[in-house]
């Protein structure tokens, strides 16, 4: 399947601009993660599909009539309220971003903006008011999902942060020459590392055209710059030539213009048609969708249950300072008891200037006992609640790891492994009808220096990779603050280069919840610095000492 990159989106945006002034007839939810707009433009009905599926996110027009596929969601109801009956005013795409911003004018509600972020697993759809405030969204993003940007109702919308790379429009010959000087990495990988605006297919095409070899490690900087200039000119002039790549006569990839390295191809009338042809031929469905949804439902119920427990415990947790003041209040009342009047409502403490409220129906001693009782109850809560909160938070963290494991599961065995892990927590009654095939083992890669790198696919494999397959002197990595894989470099204590550390760190970032972000923090340490979290679940660890590095959350080039 093709990569829906910023260039594909730009070609689709060019087609959509022909519909300026189109009226929204109907808004639909066509699937669990997809929405559709029925528009009336140019004397006919046209249909826009927005798929936010992690496996096949895309935005394009479709020829057939869209059909409703899911129950209404909060976002769908808001889109119906603010968009149905509105007209298309403007379309904008930030340079080289997979973000399309469309502005709609409604006769009753004024201007609203629909923002589609087509970013694979991190795809989202947001509805903004005229001030740029989020009034509806498909998927909230909190600090636990992303430390770089949060998306929530009532917050001002901001574009995803961009890593410090050079726009391809700003690159110079001297920079390209310097980047290629050591010849350590393929040209396409070097250009992706240092520039902003090239997806992998375009970066590989750049190497193919400039050097005649998709894996070339050197090329004439002038030729590279000339090709980039021609492409940027296409973008600026909306000069697109949609093609589909063919394999055995069948469409296998779509592209905004002919990419030579993909081999045989044929032109198509529009970018949207090219996308439809490939989606239909290759298939965008998830063969394990039903099984995945069943486990997702159980995970959500377990998470809801734990979140309610956490909220209940937090309500029981008093403020430590307030507990101490209850003790002081009881003691001061006893100190002043001989000077207090009957039915007194307040006690002024001269030594501190504090005023203590009293129940006028009680004697001084009874008021003191009332505060002492509060103190004892609060003290017990301070001793009892934190350990319980720690257990609940640990369980929630493990459920988030299981949710990530389910999201990236590639087969039924891996999906059922999540169900088994959930059953082991005993949070819900989970019964298995029949044994599932065993899940596959950890991923295995070879680093640039020849070291074996192991990557856990799920929580149980993380446990295996870290505590069974790795030695004390091996290198251990994990994306900071998000669920993801334990990554181990089997060094046997031998020194490793920065290239190998960077390679393994990218694997850790890519095989984590940070995948799809521009950059991710990764902790790097030796396996001996990692130990099992006391009372934790499989794969939950404590790290005593580690270095932190920031890398792109991208898959490095390697053989498996």
- Judge whether 488 lies within some domain: yes
Which helix (H) or strand (E) segment holds residue 365: the answer is: helix 364-408
Same-domain status, 416 and 372: yes
- Judge whether 41 lies within some domain: yes
Same-domain status, 76 and 213: no
Any bridge partners for residue 196, and if so which?
A: 167
Residue 295's pLDDT is: 87
Q: Would you say 276 and 63 are in contact if contact means Cβ atoms under 8 Å apart? A: yes
Indicate the burial class of 275 (C-beta count within 10 angstroms; 0-12, 13-18, 19 or more). Answer: buried
Contacts for 72 with CB less than 8 Å, ≥ 6 apart: 29
Same-domain status, 234 and 304: no
β-pairing, 134-137 vs 124-128, is antiparallel
For residues 266, 268, 272 and 275, what is the CA-based torsion angle, rounded to 10 degrees?
Answer: -20
Which pair of tokens denotes residue 321?
């300072």
Same-domain status, 28 and 82: yes
pLDDT tens sequence for the chain (560 residues): 468 999 999 999 999 999 999 999 999 999 888 999 999 998 999 999 999 988 789 999 999 888 887 678 899 999 999 999 999 999 999 999 999 999 999 999 999 999 999 998 889 999 999 999 999 999 998 887 777 789 999 999 999 888 888 999 999 999 999 999 988 889 999 999 899 999 999 999 999 999 999 999 999 999 999 999 999 999 999 999 999 999 888 898 999 999 999 999 999 999 999 999 998 887 545 666 777 878 888 888 898 889 999 999 988 888 889 999 999 999 999 999 988 999 999 999 988 889 999 999 999 999 999 999 999 999 999 999 999 999 999 999 999 899 888 887 877 788 888 888 888 887 766 555 444 445 568 999 989 888 999 999 899 999 999 999 999 999 999 999 889 999 999 998 899 999 999 999 999 999 998 886 778 899 999 999 999 998 889 999 999 888 999 998 878 865 44
Distance CA 529, CA 531 (A): 7
- Judge whether 1 lies within some domain: no
End of a domain among 114, 133, 160?
160
Same-domain status, 152 and 11: yes
Counted residue by residue, the chain has a size of 560
Chain-centroid distance, C-alpha 188: 26
Same-domain status, 316 and 333: yes
Chain-centroid distance, C-alpha 536: 25
- Judge whether 521 lies within some domain: yes
- Judge whether 176 lies within some domain: yes
Same-domain status, 348 and 414: yes
- Judge whether 306 lies within some domain: yes
CA-wise closest residue to 222 among 173, 182, 271? 173
CATH code of the domain covering residue 71: 2.30.310.10
Residue 429's pLDDT is: 62
Domain of 520 in residue numbering reads as 443-551
Indicate the burial class of 243 (C-beta count within 10 angstroms; 0-12, 13-18, 19 or more). Answer: buried
For residues 497, 503, 505 and 507, what is the CA-based torsion angle, rounded to 10 degrees?
Answer: -150
Indicate the number of domains in the chain: 4
- Judge whether 434 lies within some domain: no
Same-domain status, 320 and 410: yes
**Measured CA distances, 512 to 321, 350, 451, 509, 524 (Å):** 40, 59, 21, 5, 15
CA-wise closest residue to 301 among 418, 422, 200, 393? 422
Residue 135's pLDDT is: 96
Q: Would you say 486 and 476 are in contact if contact means Cβ atoms under 8 Å apart? A: yes
Same-domain status, 151 and 16: yes
Same-domain status, 31 and 73: yes
Which pair of tokens denotes residue 73?
């969601």
Give one DSSP letter per residue of 417-479, joined into a string.
HHHHHHHHTTSS----SSPPPPPP--EEEE-TTS-EEEE-SSHHHHHHIIIII--TTSEEEEE
Residue 559's pLDDT is: 42
- Judge whether 35 lies within some domain: yes
Same-domain status, 151 and 174: no
Same-domain status, 147 and 53: yes
């Amino acid at each position: 399947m093709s990569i829906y990159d910023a260039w594909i989106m730009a070609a689709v945006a060019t087609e959509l601009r022909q519909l300026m002034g189109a009226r929204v007839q109907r808004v639909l939810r066509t699937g669990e993660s997809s929405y559709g707009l029925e528009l009336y433009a140019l004397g006919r009905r046209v249909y826009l599909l927005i798929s936010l599926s992690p496996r096949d996110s895309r935005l394009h027009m479709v020829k057939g009539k869209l059909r409703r596929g899911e129950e209404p969601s909060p976002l769908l109801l808001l889109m119906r309220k603010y968009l149905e009956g509105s007209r298309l005013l403007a379309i904008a795409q930030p340079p080289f971003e997979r973000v399309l911003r469309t502005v709609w004018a409604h006769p009753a509600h004024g201007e609203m903006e629909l923002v589609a972020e087509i970013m694979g697993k991190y795809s989202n759809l947001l509805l903004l008011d005229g001030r740029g405030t989020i009034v509806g969204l498909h998927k909230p993003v909190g600090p636990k999902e992303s430390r770089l940007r949060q998306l929530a109702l009532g917050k001002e919308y901001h574009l995803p942060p961009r890593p410090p790379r050079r726009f391809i429009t700003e690159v110079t010959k001297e920079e390209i020459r310097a980047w290629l000087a050591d010849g350590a990495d393929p040209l396409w990988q070097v250009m992706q590392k240092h520039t902003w605006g090239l997806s992998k297919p375009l970066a590989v095409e750049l190497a193919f055209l400039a050097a005649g070899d998709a894996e070339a490690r050197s090329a004439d900087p002038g030729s590279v710059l000339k090709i980039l200039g021609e492409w940027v000119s296409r973008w600026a002039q909306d000069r697109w030539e949609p093609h589909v790549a063919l394999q055995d006569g069948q469409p296998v990839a779509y592209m905004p213009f002919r990419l030579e390295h993909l081999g045989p191809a044929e032109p198509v009338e529009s970018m949207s048609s090219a996308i439809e042809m490939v989606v239909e031929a290759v298939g965008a469905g998830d063969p394990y969708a039903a099984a995945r949804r069943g486990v997702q439902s159980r995970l959500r119920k377990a998470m809801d249950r734990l979140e309610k427990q956490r909220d209940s415990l937090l309500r029981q947790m008093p403020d430590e300072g307030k507990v101490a003041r209850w003790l002081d209040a009881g003691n001061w009342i006893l100190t002043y008891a001989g000077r207090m009047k009957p039915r007194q409502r307040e006690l002024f403490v001269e030594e501190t200037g504090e005023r203590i409220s009293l129940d006028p129906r009680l004697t001084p001693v009874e008021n003191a006992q009332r505060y002492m009782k509060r103190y004892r109850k609060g003290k017990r809560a301070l001793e009892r609640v934190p350990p319980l909160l720690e257990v609940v938070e640990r369980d929630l963290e493990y459920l988030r790891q299981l949710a990530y494991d389910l999201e990236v599961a590639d087969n039924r065995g891996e999906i059922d492994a999540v169900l088994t892990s959930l059953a082991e927590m005993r949070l819900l009654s989970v019964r298995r009808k029949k044994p599932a095939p065993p899940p596959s083992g950890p991923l295995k890669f070879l680093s640039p220096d020849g070291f074996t790198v192991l990557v856990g696919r799920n929580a149980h494999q993380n446990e295996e990779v870290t505590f069974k397959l790795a030695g004390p002197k091996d290198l251990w990595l994990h994306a900071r603050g998000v669920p993801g894989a334990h990554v181990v470099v089997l060094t046997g204590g031998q020194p490793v280069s920065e290239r190998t550390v960077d390679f393994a760190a990218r694997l850790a970032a890519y095989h984590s919840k940070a995948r799809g972000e521009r950059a991710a923090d990764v902790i790097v340490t030796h396996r001996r610095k990692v130990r099992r979290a006391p009372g934790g679940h499989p794969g939950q660890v404590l790290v005593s000492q580690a270095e932190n590095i920031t890398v792109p959350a991208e898959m490095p080039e390697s053989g498996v």
